[in-house]
Amino acid sequence: MDVSGGHVLIPIPGAIPAPWGVFEFLDILTFIVHLLLMNMVVGGSIILLFSRLKRSISNGQGAPTIGGPAEALVNNIPSALALTITFGVAPLLFIQVLYGHFIYSSSVLMAVYWLLVVPLLIIAYYGVYIFARKSGTRGLLPMAVISASCVIFLYVMWTFVNNMTLMLHPENWAEYFNRRGGTILNTGDPTVWPRFLHFLVASVAVAGLISSLIWWIRKKRSNADASADNKVKSGLKIFSYATALQVGIGIWFLVALPREILLKLMGGDPLFTVIFILGFAAVIAVLVTGFLGKLAATSWLLLVTVILMVINRANLRTLYLEPYFSPGSLENTPQYSVMFLFFLVLVAGLAAVGYMLKVSFQTAEGGAK
Ligand code: HEM
Q: Give the model confidence (pLDDT) of 168-184 as tens digits.
A: 999 999 999 999 999 99
The verdict on the CB of residue 307 being under 6 Å from ligand 1 is no
At 57, the amino acid letter reads I
CA of 88 from ligand 1 middle (Å) equals 6
CA of 218 from ligand 1 middle (Å) equals 31
The verdict on the CB of residue 88 being under 6 Å from ligand 1 is yes
Condensed to tens digits (0 to 9), the pLDDT of residues 218-274 reads 888 876 677 888 999 999 999 999 999 999 999 999 999 999 999 999 999 999 999
Confidence of residue 166 (pLDDT cuts 50, 70, 90): very high
Report the pLDDT value the prediction gives residue 369, as an integer from 0 to 100: 41
Of all protein residues, the one whose alpha carbon is nearest to atom 35 of ligand 1 is 92
DSSP label of 11: P
The verdict on the CB of residue 193 being under 6 Å from ligand 1 is no
The verdict on the CB of residue 325 being under 6 Å from ligand 1 is no
- In testing the pocket of ligand 1, which one of 38, 128, 161, 315 has its CB within 8 Å of the most ligand atoms? 38
N-to-C CA span, the chain: 57
CA of 160 from ligand 1 middle (Å) equals 6
The verdict on the CB of residue 95 being under 6 Å from ligand 1 is yes
Of all protein residues, the one whose alpha carbon is nearest to atom 42 of ligand 1 is 88
Q: Is 171 exposed, middle or buried (0-12, 13-18, 19+ CB in 10 A)?
A: middle
Instruction: Output 108 or 224, whichever has higher pLDDT.
Output: 108
Q: Are 261 and 319 in contact (CB under 8 A)?
A: yes
* Predicted confidence (pLDDT) at residue 54 exceeds the cutoff of 70: yes
pTM (predicted TM-score): 0.94
The closest-lying atom of ligand 1 relative to the alpha carbon of residue 199 is 10
Report the pLDDT value the prediction gives residue 190, as an integer from 0 to 100: 98
Cβ of 343: how many Cβ atoms within 10 Å?
12
- In testing the pocket of ligand 1, which one of 32, 160, 168 has its CB within 8 Å of the most ligand atoms? 160
The verdict on the CB of residue 302 being under 6 Å from ligand 1 is no
Report the pLDDT value the prediction gives residue 138, as an integer from 0 to 100: 84
Q: Are 270 and 321 in contact (CB under 8 A)?
A: no
Cβ of 140: how many Cβ atoms within 10 Å?
10
CA of 220 from ligand 1 middle (Å) equals 34
At 181, the amino acid letter reads G
CA angle (35 as vertex; 32, 38 as ends), nearest 5: 150
Report the pLDDT value the prediction gives residue 336, as an integer from 0 to 100: 87
Alpha helices in the chain (DSSP H): 20-59, 77-109, 111-134, 140-166, 192-220, 228-256, 259-263, 270-291, 295-321, 336-367
Condensed to tens digits (0 to 9), the pLDDT of residues 283-335 reads 999 999 999 999 999 999 999 999 999 999 999 999 999 999 999 999 999 98
CA of 141 from ligand 1 middle (Å) equals 28
Of all protein residues, the one whose alpha carbon is nearest to atom 24 of ligand 1 is 85
The closest-lying atom of ligand 1 relative to the alpha carbon of residue 94 is 41
Rg (CA), the chain: 22
Q: Are 202 and 246 in contact (CB under 8 A)?
A: yes
Confidence of residue 81 (pLDDT cuts 50, 70, 90): very high
Of all protein residues, the one whose alpha carbon is nearest to atom 11 of ligand 1 is 160
Confidence of residue 122 (pLDDT cuts 50, 70, 90): very high
DSSP label of 74: T
What mean pLDDT do residues 83-89 have? 95
Of all protein residues, the one whose alpha carbon is nearest to atom 31 of ligand 1 is 88
3-class state of residue 180 by DSSP: coil
CA of 312 from ligand 1 middle (Å) equals 16
The closest-lying atom of ligand 1 relative to the alpha carbon of residue 81 is 1
Q: Where is average pLDDT lowest: 160-164, 189-193, 291-295, 341-345? A: 341-345
Q: Are 258 and 200 in contact (CB under 8 A)?
A: no
